[in-house]
Amino acid sequence: MKVSASLRDFVLDQLQHGAGLRARSMFSGIGLYAEEVFFGIVAADTLFFKVDDSNRRDYEAAGSVLKADHESA
């Protein structure tokens, strides 16, 4: 499912102050990169961030909903 132009523009606008922000087409979504480090994807009009043990608590503390874990998905 494609990403709407309005969501793409909104996400990039919100993240514009990040160092070296870059968006690249990825499958039917958009991959998000800071410099050359992949950190998220917009797919099916949903924003997903790469989360692991090093940053999981930060996302949980911010109230993010962690929908799936690669180990259990």
Q: Which of 56, 43, 55 is nearest to 2 (CA)?
A: 43
Q: pLDDT at position 71, please?
A: 52
Which structure tokens are listed for 19?
Answer: 């160092």
How many Å apart are CA 68 and CA 8, to the nearest integer?
Answer: 22
Residue-range domain boundaries for the chain: 5-61
Residue with tokens 């087409």: 25
Would you place residue 1 in the very low, low, confident or very high pLDDT band (cuts 50, 70, 90)? low
pTM over 0.85: no
Q: Which of 63, 21, 26, 18 is nearest to 43 (CA)?
A: 26
Query: What is the per-residue pLDDT across 14-66, written as a single tens digit (0 to 9) for each?
Result: 988 877 898 999 888 999 999 889 999 999 888 999 999 999 999 999 998 87
In contact, 44 and 29? CB cutoff 8 Å: yes
